[in-house]
Structure 1
Amino acid sequence: MQLQALPAFADNYIWTLRGGDGRAVIVDPGDAGPVEAAAAQGLEPAGILLTHHHDDHIGGVLELRRRWPDLPVLAPAEDRIPLTARRVADGERVRLLDWEFAVIAVPGHTLSHVAYHCADAGGQGLLFSGDTLFSLGCGRLFEGTPAQMLASLDRLASLPGETRLCCGHEYTLSNAAFARVVEPDNPALLRRIEQVQAMRAAGQPSLPSTIATERETNPFLRVDAPGVRGAVERQAGAAGDRVETFAALRRWKDGFRA
Structure 2
Amino acid sequence: MRSRLVKSMITDTVPAAATPLEVARGLAPSIRKRAAEIEAARQLPADLVMDIAHARLFRVALPEAEGGLGADIVTTLQVIEEVARADGSTGWCLAMGINTLRQSAQFAPEVRRQIFFSDPVGISAGSANPRGRAVAVPGGYRVTGHWFFASGCMHSSALHGACKVFDADAPRLRPNGDQEVRIAYFYPKSIARITDTWEVSGLRGTGSHDIEVVDLFVPEERTFSALDLRARVTGP
TM-score above 0.5, yes or no: no
Higher helix share: 2
Q: TM-score, normalised by structure 2?
A: 0.32
